[in-house]
Amino acid sequence: MLEGAKPLDVGIPAQVFTTRASMPYEVRVCGAAPGLVAGGDGLSYHVADGLDALEWADIVFIPGYRFPDRDDPPRPVVDALVAAHHRGARLAAISTGAFALAATGLLDGRRATTHWHYARALAAKHPRVQVDENVLFIDEGSVLTSAGAASGIDLCLHILRGDLGVAASNHAARRLVAAPYRSGGQAQYVPRSVPEPLGERFAATREWALHRIGEPLTLEALARHAAVSPRTLSRRFVEDTGYTPMQWVMRARIDVARELLERSEQSIEQIAAETGLGTGTNLRLHFQRILGTTPSEYRRTFARTE
């Protein structure tokens, strides 16, 4: 972490990738050197490790920090990040941590995001970076960036889903009392205010749909539950989730199918019926379209081995 590190940005990856028996991660917090690091918002941190920790890390998170547009991070930090990346580590920046990641040059020619308040400053300071302020996070493979602090949770859960599968990610989300999945393409903020009761109603509608994922779900049925017109639901739903209502339903069905593939021995046909996809052919079609793989290959990759 850098001077002025933001508390949530530091704590989120530490909590998601917690060091515990059920998780195959070891979490360490490091600074430019071991010792006291002055943080933002009245906090300071005593870190046990220096930059040598980056020599073995598989994922390096760069928390956001105060005044990122003023100065570049220290050269040893930049060099250590570049060396870790060249060794094969993934680098993930939360919020204004994107400035430190951009200082390495590894974001040049790539898409990246940061907190909307600093997006223009990032684009001005690093013009070769393709800054997109209207997303929650961006995954460019070996380099990843997220918007403000809460979207760091979305980024961490996204990484966890790729590493360990949807069941582990959903478990972590439940532990954090967080939404299991928000699209990285979702806007950082709604450009016009949405009345709170409407937002609550849509959250309730999503929960209602999740409990009926194996049943026929139509736009009209969702709109009836939300007590709005299908047109209003469609418009507001995209702002809320990044997907149209029926795209969201399809992805929810695929997520349930993924968890069943990981945790059960049900056949492809049984899982298709249970998730409302009808047939194994439909399941395979949508699985390939959304995830780029087959249900059988997914099961081989993520199924539990006792």
The strands making up 59-62's β-sheet, listed across from edge to edge, are 59-62, 90-94, 143-146, 137-139
Cβ-contact 120, 135 below 8 angstroms: no
Q: What are phi and psi of 4, to 5 degrees?
A: 85, 15
**What pLDDT shows up at residue 184?**
57
pLDDT band at 191 (very low <50, low <70, confident <90, very high): very low
Instruction: Report the run of H or E that residue 143 belongs to, with start and end.
Output: strand 143-146
Of 269, 271, 262, residue with least CA distance to 297: 262
pTM metric for this prediction:
0.69
Q: How far is CA 156 from CA 150, 269, 304, in A?
A: 10, 32, 21
- The number of C-alpha atoms within 13 Å of 28 and in the hemisphere containing its C-beta is 17
Residue 44 has pLDDT above 50, yes or no: yes
- The encoded tokens of residue 298 equal 């997914």
Q: What is the pLDDT of residues 54-86, one digit of tens each?
A: 999 999 999 999 999 888 899 999 999 999 999
Residue 16 has pLDDT above 50, yes or no: yes
Higher pLDDT, 184 or 154: 154
236 CB-near residues (< 8 Å, 6+ apart): 194, 198, 202, 228
DSSP per position, 156-185:
HHHHHHHHH-HHHHHHHHHHHT--S---TT
The phi, psi pair for 100, rounded to 5°, reads: -65, -40
Residue 38 phi, psi (nearest 5)? -70, 125
Task: Provide the pLDDT for residue 181.
Answer: 58
pLDDT in tens, 201-214: 688 898 899 899 99
Helix (H) or strand (E) holding 103: helix 97-103
Question: How many residues in the chain?
Answer: 306
Residue 69: CA count within 13 A, CB half-sphere? 11
Within 13 Å, how many C-alpha atoms sit on residue 75's CB side? 0
Structure tokens at 249: 């339903």
Closest to 25 measured CA to CA, from 62, 57, 64: 57
Amino acid identity for residue 188 in this structure: Q
